[in-house]
Amino acid sequence: MPDALPDERFERFEAPGVTPLPHPLTRPELLLAMRSNVLRIWGEAAYRERTLVGPFFGQKSVFTNEPEAIRHVLVDNAKNYTRTPATFRILKPVLGNGLFLSEGEEWRFQRRTLAPAFAPRAMGIVARVTAEVLDEELRRLKAEALGPHDLMPMIQRIAIEVAGRAMFSTAMQRRGPQLRKLFETYGRDLGMPYPSDVLLPASVAGPAELWRRLRGRRWLDFIKAMVEQRKRVSSEGRPRDLFDLMAEARDPESGRAFSLDELRDQFATFIIAGHETTALTLLWSFVLLARSPNLQDAIAREASAHDLSPVGAAAAVESLPVTRAVVNEVLRLFPPAFMIVREAKAKDRVAGYEIEKGDVVSVAPWVLHRHAAHWEKPTVFDARRFLPDAPPPAKFTYLPFGAGPRVCIGAQFALTEATLVLARTLEQVRLKTVDDVAVEPVAVVTTYPSPIPLFEIARR
Ligand code: HEM
């Protein structure tokens, strides 16, 4: 972003990052990075080169930052690519046959049928629910927060409460605490990759898998109970939540509706795919805004010009350009879904390289969004990049939500929620971190700051 646009509302500074190794990683270094911080698997060359090819745990792997090649794999020839066996292994026990893992005709049916639940009219539900949850949380925050404060519990409560109420409204009143507890007990562990996930053939179950299946069963049973409970409540004509929209949805082509088990898998998928990703977007936003008092003021000013109450939030959310620019910049520097991996089903050619069936092609939003060829001062936090009058990022260089037919179905949900939470929170409080401890981004399942800083909160 050119410095010709001086604007003191927008602080700019070097964002937290990892220092990449100057050499290609050895196998032990790779294994260690996979378990401790996946962001360390990319050496310096990944941030400079367009495409890198090499073996990755016995498979040929093509890693690309080339927009045309990314478009080819995710959009133009997407049907030649599938999620990898390791992805199925890790996620199947908790996502079942929901949208994320389904394939082919079954996936097309699901995506068509789910589309209305994520259309603009449904975002009105998300905006209202976000404002309601936030009102409760901000009251609590202002009452509690005098000394150093850990914002993470509040952020996690917001994310799970918004997802739960937007999807299940009434059932959430009774089962919400249990849902939160299930998450707290094993949320992050569920997706932790183990070496056996990539080393064992797809047909062989490793020890991690047996453990995941056991816990996954408990999770899916719990979601099913929520679905059953919610199903007993009438919607009284108007869709009350996404449950109503999904339970009533019919495939526009075949007229088929979702069965109870199919609804269970969709909700399990949405809660897992949407909860941690949105929570971490919020956490990183607060970490970066803590260093940007002027930007906090700009967001507060913008927010106070609109009605962000449960009644007005849906109409206001599109009129918060500064807040939205911050969310977009946070998603550039700290994309929660830091890597998109595909396995080829048949021969292809990507970025000039021959691809055989079984080869792996990966795109890492984490690297792409910090790549020297695509961004000016790539590691600098600068929300001006995403103001409405700034030039949009070049095509296929900014993919926090992926691209093509498998693009995130919850993108508008997440953007609506994150924009409203930031605007409403900063309208009411100022925050800064307690001391200047350097944080390191760490990715295991999603990308979080380590250590998670404490914040000082002051009422406006
Ligand atoms: C900031 C928050 C979020 C981020 C960064 C994010 C990111 C992504 C990305 C990158 C993909 C594509 C993965 C691929 O192509 O392999 C994806 C897919 C998906 N996301 Fe999100 N997501 C977020 C929030 C949500 C929310 C709130 C929901 C649901 C309520 C959701 C549900 C899904 C589902 C179901 C898919 C699979 C779509 C398909 O395969 O057709 N996500 N997400």
Tens of each residue's pLDDT in the chain, 460 residues: 545 445 788 999 999 999 999 888 888 888 888 878 999 999 999 999 999 998 877 789 999 999 999 999 999 999 999 999 888 888 888 899 999 999 999 999 999 999 999 988 889 999 999 999 999 999 988 887 667 899 998 998 899 899 999 998 876 777 777 877 776 665 556 666 666 666 677 677 777 777 778 878 888 999 999 899 888 887 666 778 899 889 888 998 899 999 999 999 999 999 988 888 999 999 999 999 999 999 999 999 999 999 999 999 999 999 999 999 999 999 999 999 999 999 999 999 999 999 999 999 999 999 999 999 999 999 999 999 999 999 999 999 999 999 999 999 999 999 999 999 999 999 999 999 998 788 999 998 788 999 999 999 998 8
180 within some domain: yes
- Residue 7 falls within a domain, yes or no? no
* Beta-bridge partners for 60: 55
- Assess whether the C-beta atom of 99 lies below 6 angstroms from ligand 1: yes
Planar angle of CA 228, 234, 239, nearest 5 degrees:
100
**Ligand 1 and 400: CB distance under 6 A:** yes
Whether 57 is covered by a domain: the verdict is yes
For ligand 1, is residue 336 a contact (CB within 6 Å)?
A: yes
In the chain, DSSP finds a helix count (H) and a strand count (E) of 16, 13
Q: Is 239 in the pocket of ligand 1 (CB under 6 A)?
A: no
Domain assignment present for 406: yes
User: What DSSP state is assigned to residue 149?
Assistant: B
* Residue 368 Cβ < 6 Å to ligand 1: no
Query: Which atom of ligand 1 sits closest to the CA of residue 269?
Result: 35
Place of tokens 């049973």: 221
Contact (Cβ atoms closer than 8 angstroms) between residue 430 and residue 458: yes
Q: How far apart are CA 420 and CA 281, in angstroms?
A: 13
Distance 400 CA to ligand 1 centre (A): 9
Alpha-carbon distance of 42 to 337, in angstroms, equals: 15
CB 413 within 8 A of CB 359: no
Q: Is 269 in the pocket of ligand 1 (CB under 6 A)?
A: yes
Give domain status of residue 4, yes or no. Answer: no
The answer to whether residue 6 is domain-embedded is no
Q: Is 334 in the pocket of ligand 1 (CB under 6 A)?
A: no
Instruction: Report how far apart the first and last C-alpha atoms of the chain are (Å, whole number).
Output: 31
Say if 227 falls within a structural domain: yes
CA distance linking residue 78 with residue 68, whole number of Å: 13
Tell how far the Cα of 401 is from the centroid of ligand 1, in angstroms: 6
Shortest-distance atom of ligand 1 to CA 342: 16
DSSP string, 383-411: GGGGSTTSPPPPTTS--TT--GGGS-TTH
Nearest-CA residue for ligand 1 atom 9 is: 401
55: helix, coil or strand? strand
State whether residue 263 is helix, strand or coil: helix
Element at 85 (helix H, strand E): helix 85-95
Q: What is the CATH number of the domain that holds 264?
A: 1.10.630.10
Closest CA relative to residue 87, chosen from 262, 337, 265, 450: 337
- Choice from 262, 265, 366, 408 to test ligand 1 binding pocket (greatest atom count within 8 A of CB): 408
User: Which of 392, 390, 391, 330 lies closest to 365, judged by CA?
Assistant: 330
Peptide bond into 451 cis (omega under 30): yes
Would you say the CB of residue 447 lies under 6 angstroms from ligand 1?
no
User: Which residues have a Cβ under 8 Å from the Cβ of 25 and sit 6 or more positions away?
Assistant: 33, 40, 41, 43
d(CA 424, CA 416): 12
Pick from 289, 320, 290: which is nearest to 302 by CA? 320
Bridge partners, 160 (sequence order): none
Domain range spanning residue 138?
A: 13-459
Q: What distance in angstroms lies between residue 269's CA and the mean position of ligand 1's atoms?
A: 9
Count of domains forming the chain: 1
CA distance linking residue 243 with residue 168, whole number of Å: 6
281 pocket-lining for ligand 1 (C-beta < 6 Å)? yes
Q: Which protein residue has the closest C-alpha to ligand 1 atom 21?
A: 408
For residue 2, being part of any structural domain is answered with no
